[in-house]
A = this chain, B = another copy of it.
Amino acid sequence: MLQVKNAKAIHTMIAYLKKIDDFMKQLDDSILAKLNDCSSTVSFKKGDYLLRQGHVCRQSFQVLSGIARKYMVAGDKELTTEFFFETDVAISFESYVMQTPSNEHIQAITDMSASVMDYTAFQHAKAQYPQLAELDAMLGDYYAVWLEKRLFQFHTLSATERYQLLLTNQPELVQKVPLTFIASYLGISLETLSRIRARI
């Protein structure tokens, strides 16, 4: 049931994903029941917001179907920071862990449904079941490693190289998400992205 960011798996991280996966499979039924207790299924329509900039992120959303994106508004531009596909857990990380107002929106870009878990309820569950705290830590570590990879890409790769990497790592993303969002996710203009694609 609970599964992690397969879509973002880069080769070197697969082992760690498997470790998390195995860990979850060995969880006691009482723990799984507890998790079920804390969560409920919610549907969103294309364009709906799961979280709005300025609000505290008090829930996590595990995508059951559809696609969401996380973005911030900087000046007059939108900056897409992450996409969420099936099984991905969508939160505004800083807002979630610090329980401060988010500087990001999370929005459904297709009709979608998600398993919504309350922050406070999950904190209590963690206190009750140390294994959940462990799981939470592993997920956080995974996110940090993912961020390191993404940072490395911005640090070293050209626009074209970043796009090609996305194309090989997440081809389905490129097919299902509007180019406008992809461009801002890659940190390039829509025009440049269009030219890069024409050149291939």
Contact = CB atoms under 8 A, between A and B. Distances in A.
Interface of A: 1, 5, 9, 12-13, 15-16, 74-75, 79, 81, 93-94, 97-98, 100, 103, 130, 133-134, 136-137, 140-141, 143-145, 147-148, 150-152, 154-156, 187
Given A133-B134, A147-B151, A154-B187, A15 B100 contact: yes
B74 A145 contact: no
Given A94-B145, A145-B97, A156 B74 contact: yes
Contacts of A16: 97-98
A48 to B, nearest CB: 24
Contacts of A134: 133
A13 B95 CA distance: 11
A93 B145 CA distance: 7
Nearest to A96: B141
18 contacts: A12-B98, A12-B100, A15-B98, A15-B100, A79-B155, A93-B141, A93-B145, A98-B145, A133-B137, A136-B137, A137-B140, A140-B140, A143-B144, A147-B148, A150-B151, A151-B151, A155-B187, A156-B187
A145 B1 CA distance: 27
Contacts of A93: 141, 144-145, 148
A79 B155 CA distance: 8
A13 B144 CA distance: 16
Contacts of A15: 98, 100
Nearest to A150: B151
A126 B94 CA distance: 24
Contacts of A130: 130, 133
Nearest to A184: B155
Contacts of A145: 93-94, 97-98
Contacts of A100: 12, 15
